[in-house]
Structure 1
Amino acid sequence: MRAIWKGAVSFGLVNVPVRLFSATENHDVQFRQVHEKDGGRIKYQRVCSIDGEEVPYSDIAKGYEAADGQMVVLTDEDLKSLPSRSSKEISIEKFVPSEQIDPLLFDKSYYLEPDKTGLKPYVLLRDALEKADRMALVTVSVRTRMTLAVLRVRDGVIVLQTLLWADEVRTPEFESLSEDTHATAKELAMAASLVDSLSGDYEPDEFEDDYSEAVTQLVATKIEGGDITETPEAKGEETEVVDLLAALQRSVDKAKAAKSGGSSGSAAAAGDADDSDDSDDSAEKSTAKKSTTKKAATKKAAAKSTAAKSTAKKSTTKKAATKKAS
């Protein structure tokens, strides 16, 4: 695991240097939106709803929509004026009974690991929390905003769990439950019998995500059966591997040209090494004149090779080759 935050727990005059680690991870199955025809990924453009133009990141600002629908655009200066904290301190405000914290308030969970210099005070805080059967109510700024959290002990490790603010918990308002309706004594007895028959201990490993496993197995079966879509490279996107191979090919061409010592060969190699749009256009024009078959756009590399050979043979094209080399 990698620490996402470093700071210290402060309680009284004691500071406990700690590192923060995410205690949970998401194993949900992640699907990509793709074009059914060729498997290409679907991309979304940032388009303004008023003029319909695509907006670059540099022109995107933060806006707050008022209750009446009006939009208030906030500048960087506005955001800097807002209260923010960048403190590296987990400040213990009070120790509260564990039962007073409704689990509904729990948000994200993190493990706290002590630095070597803070091991003793860390153990002291951990043991004190366990003995008191209380949670430490703290304030912390993991990024910029201050938030409430609690410290509790789990398997010998102090866990920090951020809390939702009180107004972030909705009040249940269901008309069907407002009536004064209760179960009868006979119904309660039958329910109690059912509870007893299904009583047991919670064993996390007893349950598994069968959906995730089924998807993984389905994908593996399709791959083994060859039921996959060969996705062509997206236009305008070159991978690092392609760039590396292209660079190696250019190096080989240059080496061959230098070894042959032919000026025409050197010019042709230099022309191949030029990646500008002008060189591509010249190569396509030369290919159109000398080749008897027209290649598709995806076979442009072959067209370039034909153009290079033609340049070496025909002295009348030396002017074009010199232009490409320059």
Structure 2
Amino acid sequence: MAARAIWKGELQFGKHNVGVKFYSAIEDRSVHFHLLHEKDGAPVEQHIVRKDTGKDVPKEQMRKAFAVGPNTAVILQPEELAELIPPESREIELLRFVPASAIDDQWYERPYYLGPDDGHADDYFAFGEALARQEAIGIARWVMRKKRYLGAVSAVDGYLVMTTLRRAEQVVSFSGVEPAKSATPQANELKLAEQLVKSIEADFDPQQWHNEYRERLYKLIEAKARGEKIKPVRVPKKRAEGSLADSLKASLAAAREKKVA
């Protein structure tokens, strides 16, 4: 089945526009449960209630408040919040281009594939080729579903990808995390660490790593559906910690044994 676009807009740089369609690049694979009553299995649901009386509060009677002191809060009315919502637009404004190496991992949030809109394929692939050749990333902003986004558009294998970016106030500085000079690794520890890195070098293959909790959960669900029981997984005991050099030697030996096996 063909992928379905979730939104469409126009990349704008200067007087030139490139129509694009947004496709989600990730999928939520979390396990979702229904809530049931313990006694008879009847479905239950959550309600918003008053803390003092426990009575239900209709949605139209709810108000949002922001605490400004121990016993003081500012109450915001729905119409006041509605005025803050940015106007709908299909424009994706490209603000500037930066080197691909200029953005570190902590700034990236959620990726979207961009596909060419009808009649814009030539411009789309030309733009992607230009980004790839210059090893550049475009910084863009747009409004989608009543929310303003900041993002980075890049070229991946000839196609465009838009990844939303976190704002400056969301990214925590590395200040205070730097190791002290006294913690500089010894020459033998550094050599062992380099050997360990080389011993398990390989291509990145995401298919090798599974969500073990999700797999065990589905096995439990399937077994219970068949009326069976499964044995609980025993967690291995944690080994006593030694020096960094000892730990690296043990890791290196384990990596070699794994390769031989």
Question: Is TM (by shorter chain) over 0.5?
Answer: yes
Q: Tell me the matched-pair count.
A: 227
Percent identical residues: 31
After TM superposition, give the deviation of residue 34 of structure 1 in Å: 3.0
Q: Which residue of 2 aligns with 1:96?
A: 98
1:176 deviation in Å? 8.9
Amino acid at match of 2:6: I
Q: Provide closer, same or farther for how the CA distance between residues 171 and 42 of structure 1 changes in structure 2, counting only shifts above 3 A.
A: farther
Structure 1 position 163, deviation (Å): 0.4
Query: What letter matches 1:96 in structure 2?
Result: V
1:287-302 to 2 correspondence within 5 Å? none
CA distance in 2, matches of 1:131, 1:175: 36
Relative to structure 1, the CA distance from residue 40 to residue 153 in structure 2 (aligned partners, 3 Å threshold; closer, same or farther) is farther
List runs of 5+ in structure 2 lacking aligned partners: 230-261
Q: What is the root-mean-square deviation in Å for CA atoms of aligned residues? A: 2.3
Distance in 2 (CA, whole Å) between partners of 1:174 and 1:39 is 51
Give the match for residue 315 of structure 1.
none
Pairing 1:138-177 to 2, within 5 Å after superposition: 138-172=140-174, 177=179
Distance 1:111 1:175 in 2: 35
Give the corresponding residue for 2:184.
Answer: 182
Q: What code does the residue aligned with 1:171 have? A: S
Q: 1:114 to 1:164 in 2, by over 3 A?
A: same
Give TM-score scaled by structure 1 length: 0.64
Instruction: Normalising by structure 2, report the TM-score.
Output: 0.79
Residues 1:124 and 1:171: Cα distance change in structure 2 (over 3 Å): same
Aligned equivalent of 2:47: 45
Runs (5+) with no aligned partner, structure 1: 228-326
- 1:7 counterpart letter in structure 2: G
Show the counterpart of 1:310. Answer: none
How far 1:85 sits from its partner (Å)?
3.5
TM-fit CA distance, 1:146: 2.1
Residues 222-278 of structure 1: per-residue CA shift (max 9 Å, x gap): 212289xxxxxxxxxxxxxxxxxxxxxxxxxxxxxxxxxxxxxxxxxxxxxxxxxxx
Other structure's SS at 2:203 match: coil
Max Rg structure: 1
Q: Is the 8 A contact 2:125 2:159 kept in 1?
A: no
2:253 maps to which residue?
none
- Output one character per residue of 1:45-98: Cα deviation in whole Å (capped at 9) or x when no partner: 211224433101121122222254522221133123326232211111111011
Letter in 1 for 2:112: Y
Whose helix proportion is higher, 1 or 2? 1
Q: 1:277-296 residue pairs with structure 2 within 5 A?
A: none
